[in-house]
Copies of this chain bind each other. A is one copy, B any other.
């Protein structure tokens, strides 16, 4: 087991195998009041056992793709009020990123904030959603548009829980690891998907994200590099009504935003060609109902955007995002996007 302390909130991150069944986990909670939150599938796999082990209450989320809504957050909060859960209560979120995002949000506003412990059970949750304190719920206007920064007290990342994941879920995490390779850490670039279950690699990816969020916890500058591939990626997800998996959307987004970086003369043609080849090794496809005007419309709702402008994180070589005077993202006119969209539409039709 490896232990890392994440600043500024001194979040204790435990990574290893067998953590969920360890005496350590039980010890960590001691006698504190705990409520475990899981979706029905994760409840059956781990949540119910965990709640029993910790003598905790168990809250089961609805089994639906719309689980990350204000209604569900309210149901959880109202349940806490009904059980008169005091401000010392710890909410334990076990599951994927949607679960940890939602539970983090509810915890951040219940009585002005109660502690959380996150137990990510997906590669994406482990390397991305659980790190950095972002919480979120979805709104009718878009995903993750309501949220807070609320750092967990601890994170337990147990590799054992990944072993039942389907291939597409592994790829959701893998797309984020490749992104980290492109923007910040070449040792994560292009290792081959067969390495996805290598603990050393996963720990490297987690440490890469930690390095970024510790330098800029409030996303005033550097942290924005993590949005590389996501301006287009999020818009692709949105227009598909979230039928396209996150990993697919982010992978296409990264390839396209690397293309844009080349188009704007920051990235060399040679490096772009290497990136293009890597992403061609995966089966990536635009959403069936893809349409350029829809994509541009969806991008207008992006959180990075300032009044009316589209903004992109760009790279100038593999492993390095452009600082742009400390803003780490750059306005790009819709017209300048056209060659990139031409390329993307041809490549991933």
Q: Which of B77, B110, B145 contacts A81 (CB 8 A)?
A: B145
Q: Which of B110, B136, B139 contacts A112 (CB 8 A)?
A: B136
Which of A159-167, A175-183, A197-205, A303-311 lies at the interface?
A303-311
Contact string against B for A residues 83-119, beta-carbon threshold 8 Å, 1 for contact and 0 otherwise: 0101110000000000000000100111111000000
B146 touches A110 (CB 8 A): yes
Give the residues in chain B near A53, CB-CB below 8 Å: none
Nearest chain-B residue to A139 (Cβ)?
B81
Give the residues in chain B near A111, CB-CB below 8 Å: 145-147, 303
Is A300 an interface residue, CB under 8 A from the partner? Answer: yes
A78 touches B109 (CB 8 A): no
Q: Which of B74, B146, B303, B305 contacts A109 (CB 8 A)?
A: B146
Is A28 an interface residue, CB under 8 A from the partner? Answer: no
A139-179 contacts to B (CB < 8 Å): 139, 141-142, 145-149
Give the residues in chain B near A78, CB-CB below 8 Å: 141
Complex Cα distance, B113 from A334, in Å, reads: 27
Is A285 an interface residue, CB under 8 A from the partner? Answer: no
In the complex where A86-B307, A88-B307 touch, is A141 in contact with B81 (Cβ < 8 A)? yes
Is A301 an interface residue, CB under 8 A from the partner? Answer: yes
Give the residues in chain B near A70, CB-CB below 8 Å: 74
Q: Which of B110, B149, B303 contacts A87 (CB 8 A)?
A: B303
Nearest chain-B residue to A74 (Cβ)?
B70
Is A330 an interface residue, CB under 8 A from the partner? Answer: no
Expressed in whole angstroms, the minimum distance between the Cβ of A303 and any Cβ of chain B is 5
Complex Cα distance, B110 from A147, in Å, reads: 7
Complex Cα distance, B78 from A70, in Å, reads: 13
Nearest chain-B residue to A77 (Cβ)?
B146
Expressed in whole angstroms, the minimum distance between the Cβ of A100 and any Cβ of chain B is 15
Q: Which A residues lie at the B interface, using CB under 8 A?
A: 33, 70, 74, 77-78, 81-82, 84, 86-88, 105, 108-113, 134-136, 139, 141-142, 145-149, 300-301, 303-307
